[in-house]
Amino acid sequence: MEDLQALKLRFGIIGNDIHLNMALEKAVRVAPTDISVLVTGESGVGKENIPKIIHQLSHRKHAKYIAVNCGAIPEGTIDSELFGHEKGSFTGATQDRKGYFEVADGGTIFLDEVGELPLTTQVRLLRVLENGEFIKVGSSVVQKTDVRIVAATNVNMFQAIEKERFREDLYYRLSTVEIHLPALRERNQDIHLLFRKFASDFAQKYRMPAVRLEDDAVHVLLNYRFPGNIRQLKNLAEQISVIEESRTISATKLQLYLPDNKGNLPAIIGTSKKENDFSNERDIMYKILFDMRNDINDLKKLTLDLLNSENIEEVQQENHQLIEKIYGNKETKSSNIEVLNIPQKVVGEKNYDFIETIEEDESLSLQDKEIEMIKRSLEKNNNKRKLAASELGISERTLYRKIKQYDL
């Protein structure tokens, strides 16, 4: 217990929650080994402290420690950042560059927000984890590296795997040891302690007396959910220290700084997706393509009925809703619709080879349609991706990913 308190003082960790202590003890135990560690927890709980502890207590403490925020690096350049690149491997690569895995050889790399990594980068990372090998962008030479990887994420990894946004094999390779940090609302006894520490720090920083909470204000503070966790509590303490003239804070004043205070009741989140609720531009494009295909099939059905029937008016009455859907109300109400009258001889022969040919040649692959639309847009805009992305109604980053995915 004394060693744990010394560890908290060394790394500036405050709290006596049992789950926090268990997480710190687990970090101390795995530090001397080279086991990969995955730190999980909500945003703002202090996940960045765990990799620092692991690095400082390991035999790699004299080597480099590099923290990488995977969510802040653009998808097109993240491979170059992590693994380096050769001169001329892409536009703007005017010289060779070492990646983080090469620079941190013998040390530790902390991959924050690892759940945001693109799938192509996940494949490269899996190879580094398995045998310590990587290839620079634009190179064919396999290089070796000896790094310890500690990853962190606030994403539900099982949901990400289910939605195919994260590789399952990479998850199990990263989470050899998983350390979970509890949310601040689960550390009820530490909330007031942390607030007092932050208030004291800001009092020294701004050279003013520290703020103090009344008993009823403490009760309000302990019953707040703090969705932003420790980061939100720290910002709250700074706001009150700077803005409030009185150094004693009542519950009424404190509530002014707490947005949407709804107590500790769990939030109800709808699990069913609303109809026509699209998550991205690709879903919208797919729905348009499906609607177009259904309209074409309806037109074929109407044409075939007209060819097989001698009574055109009867066909129009039977397919009234279909005609109204395709041509609209105005055309349906008009009696001047001209219908091609097919001779009886042709109907008797029932030679509809051309209809069958259309049915056979029709491509129902959404991927082929998507590739064709991208190619047309690029040709139309002289391969200018920004204009093509604007015309397709998608982001330039999404278009770049599609071009890379389909090798266009």
- DSSP class of residue 115? G
pLDDT confidence of residue 230 = 94
Q: Among 196-200, 233-237, 338-342, 369-373, whose mean pLDDT is lowest?
A: 338-342
Helix (H, G, I), strand (E, B) or coil at 27: helix
Helix (H, G, I), strand (E, B) or coil at 228: coil
Q: Which is more confident, 318 or 249?
A: 249
pLDDT confidence of residue 333 = 45
- 374: Cβ contacts below 8 Å, ≥ 6 apart: 388, 392, 399, 402, 403, 406, 408
Evaluate if residue 60 carries a pLDDT over 80: yes
How much of the chain exceeds pLDDT 70, in percent? 84
pLDDT confidence of residue 328 = 63
Phi-psi region of 211 (alpha: psi -120 to 50; beta: other; left: phi over 0): beta
User: Domains in the chain, start-ordered, CATH in brackets?
Assistant: 2-182 (3.40.50.300), 185-256 (1.10.8.60), 291-361 (no CATH), 366-406 (1.10.10)
Q: Among 92-96, 168-172, 357-361, whose mean pLDDT is lowest?
A: 357-361
**DSSP state string for 289-330:** HHHHHHHHHHHHHHHHHHHH-S-HHHHHHHTHHHHHHHHHHH
The closest alpha carbon to 230, from 181, 194, 196, 266, belongs to 194
Residue appearing with tokens 């609720």: 277
Q: How far is CA 317 from CA 31, 201, 396, in A?
A: 79, 81, 48
Evaluate if residue 303 carries a pLDDT over 90: no
Give the pTM: 0.64
As a dihedral over the C-alpha atoms of residue 137, residue 143, residue 144, residue 150, rounded to 10 degrees, the angle is: 0
- In this prediction, residue 176 has a pLDDT band, given cuts at 50, 70 and 90, of very high
pLDDT confidence of residue 54 = 96
For residues 192-229, one letter each, b for 16 or more C-beta atoms within 10 angstroms of the residue's C-beta and e for the rest, the string is: bebbbbbbeebbeeeeeebbebeeebbebbeebbbebb
pLDDT confidence of residue 327 = 66
Q: How far is CA 57 from CA 209, 319, 364, 406, in A?
A: 37, 78, 58, 46
Evaluate if residue 307 carries a pLDDT over 80: no
**CB of 247 closer than 8 Å to CB of 206:** no
**DSSP state string for 323-335:** HHHHHHHHHHH-S
| 196-221 tens-digit pLDDT | 999 999 999 999 999 999 999 999 99
- In this prediction, residue 395 has a pLDDT band, given cuts at 50, 70 and 90, of confident
Evaluate if residue 356 carries a pLDDT over 50: no
Q: What is the Cα–Cα distance from 381 to 360, expressed in whole angstroms?
A: 32
Which of 5-9, 352-356, 384-388 shows the highest mean pLDDT? 5-9
pLDDT confidence of residue 407 = 78
Average pLDDT, the chain: 84
pLDDT confidence of residue 349 = 47
Q: What is the Cα–Cα distance from 310 to 315, expressed in whole angstroms?
A: 9
| 62-115 tens-digit pLDDT | 999 999 999 999 988 999 999 999 998 888 888 999 999 999 999 999 999 999
The closest alpha carbon to 55, from 39, 44, 43, belongs to 39
Q: Which is more confident, 79 or 366?
A: 79
| 248-277 tens-digit pLDDT | 999 999 999 998 755 454 544 444 454 444
Q: Which is more confident, 213 or 341?
A: 213
Q: What is the Cα–Cα distance from 246 to 276, expressed in whole angstroms?
A: 52
pLDDT confidence of residue 346 = 44
Q: Among 4-18, 58-72, 300-314, whose mean pLDDT is lowest?
A: 300-314
- In this prediction, residue 363 has a pLDDT band, given cuts at 50, 70 and 90, of low
Count the neighbouring beta carbons within 10 Å of the beta carbon of residue 117. 25
Q: Among 114-128, 220-234, 259-273, 334-348, whose mean pLDDT is lowest?
A: 334-348
